[in-house]
Structure 1
Amino acid sequence: MFNFDWVVNIYDIIMPSRKPFELLKLMKTKSTEVVLEIGAGTGRVTKYYGNKVDNLVLLDPSIKMLSKAQEKLPHAKIIKGVAENLPFPDNSFTKIIGYDSLHHWQDQIKGLRESLRVLKKNGELFLIEVDPNNFWGNKVILFEKIIGMNSHFFSPPLLTKIVKKIGFSTVKFDPLSGGLAYLVICKK
């Protein structure tokens, strides 16, 4: 697994920080929801919706990244951990977000199964990923390979097929950012 600790102080500078309008529009998050963000990192995306949620849990393998997120969202509960071994009881969350993180999970199938397990009935999983079939998406993949990340990207059709096979009942797909990325919404 790639160690993000060495980039924690420059991460928010080098990563695009545009507001995720498409995600926010589709999430329709209410303050009463219980939300988990897997791979929350420094909270660069969480900061746009996190203050609207009373019960917010941020999970990441890097405690240094989570410390930066905590500065942005003091009310959030931060937990060092990975998607493949979620330290929560069954049926804990109404929404789970994986923004630009799925491709970093060591065992993506296990992580998706864990997400299904901890989602409440009718809960939703939002996965935003770079599309490997897109020209610019390929540049992102190449960059991650050059710097030593062991990333694995799914095409939108393959990810859609996988989440259905795992047991999500409803799956919606939306291209984002002119096709550079895509959003898959999975319902339990």
Structure 2
Amino acid sequence: MGREFLNNFEQWAESYDLSVNGEDEQYKEVFRNYESILDEVANRSFGTVMEFGVGTGNLTKKILDKGLDVIAIEPSEAMRQKALEKIPNLSIYNGDFLNFPTVKSTINTIVSTYAFHHLTDDEKNLAIKKYSQILKTGDKIVFADTMFENEWERQKIMDEAKELGYLDLLNDLKTEYYTYIPIIREIFEKNGFEIEFIQFNKFVWLVEAIKK
């Protein structure tokens, strides 16, 4: 359920914003166009938004600045504290993609950035199935996450990371559940969504899925 990576989230809390700003050479390409990615997710959101993996609150702030309501969910206490430094009055639930509070609000958009890959493919399918039951026709899911077109593309990226000595990035690529676009497409379509992909860098694709 992604909670096996919780220690990583706790450790990343202090350095995450430095990484997204390009100060960690290993992750420069991962976070290239970071602000544009967040802007795109925020701009495609509407109504009441449920955000999974709030992290340090960067996307949350952009969505709130659009005048939208956000139901914020983050499993890491350290990340929640960082988000609250930016958005002091934000209520953040301790939850994850599969275990989250039942809310009375009607949810129109479900968003996440740089987090969905912490679920296995089976867990991704279970999560999207849950969200399909929450959303109504015309509502949407907008995720931005690392994924690859195929195994060859992933191996190529891993070889490049190894050649450059980016051992932390290489370890991520080996141990986290990065998946492939055909699998993501199948998961969303079989759960009743029309899906669009937009690539932002070598790693990150934006997925917009509209409930049919």
* Shorter-chain TM-score tier: 0.7 to 0.9
Consecutive unaligned residues of structure 1, counting only runs of 5 or more, are: none
Q: Which residue of 2 aligns with 1:183?
A: 206
Q: Secondary structure at the match of 2:179?
A: coil
1:152 is paired with a residue of what secondary structure?
A: coil
CA-based RMSD of the aligned residues comes to 3.1
1:115 alignment partner in structure 2: 131
In structure 1, C-alpha distance between the alignment counterparts of 2:181 and 2:104, rounded to whole Å: 27
CA contact (8 A) 1:33 1:94 kept: yes
Number of the residue aligned with 1:28: 43
Distance 1:137 1:118, change over 3 A: farther
> How far off is 1:90 after superposition?
8.2
**Rg larger for:** 2
Q: CA deviation at 1:43?
A: 1.4
Matches within 5 A, 1:103-142: 103-105=117-119, 107-132=123-148, 133=153, 135-136=156-157, 139=161
Q: How many residue pairs are counted as aligned between the two chains?
A: 185
State the distance in 2 between where 1:84 and 1:58 align: 14
Of Structure 1 and Structure 2, the greater helix share is in 2
Q: Cα gap change, 1:184/1:147 in structure 2, threshold over 3 Å: closer, same or farther?
A: closer
Query: How far apart in 2 are the matches of 1:6 and 1:126?
Result: 26
**1:23-172 equivalences in 2 (<5 Å):** 24-25=39-40, 27-28=42-43, 33-89=47-103, 92-105=106-119, 107-132=123-148, 133=153, 135-136=156-157, 139=161, 143=168, 146=171, 150-168=175-193, 170-172=194-196
Distance 1:26 1:64 in 2: 24
Instruction: Pick the aligned partner of 2:197 from 152, 173, 181.
Output: 173
Higher strand share: 1
- 1:147/1:174 Cα in 2 relative to 1: closer, same or farther (>3 Å)? closer
Find the counterpart in structure 2 of residue 7 from structure 1: 12
Structure 2 distance, partners of 1:166, 1:137, is 31
Give the whole-Å Cα distance in 2 for the aligned partners of 1:6 and 1:46. Answer: 21
Amino acid at match of 1:13: L
Contact map agreement 2:51 2:112 (CA 8 A) in 1: yes
Are residues 11 and 52 of structure 1, via their aligned partners in 2, closer, same or farther at CA, if it must alter by over 3 Å? same
Q: Tell me the distance in 2 between the aligned counterparts of 1:163 and 1:137.
A: 27
**TM-score after normalising by structure 1:** 0.80
Contact 1:8 1:65 (C-alpha < 8 Å) held by counterparts: yes
Higher relative contact order (CA 8 A, sep 6+): 2
Partners of 1:118 and 1:90 in 2: CA distance: 11
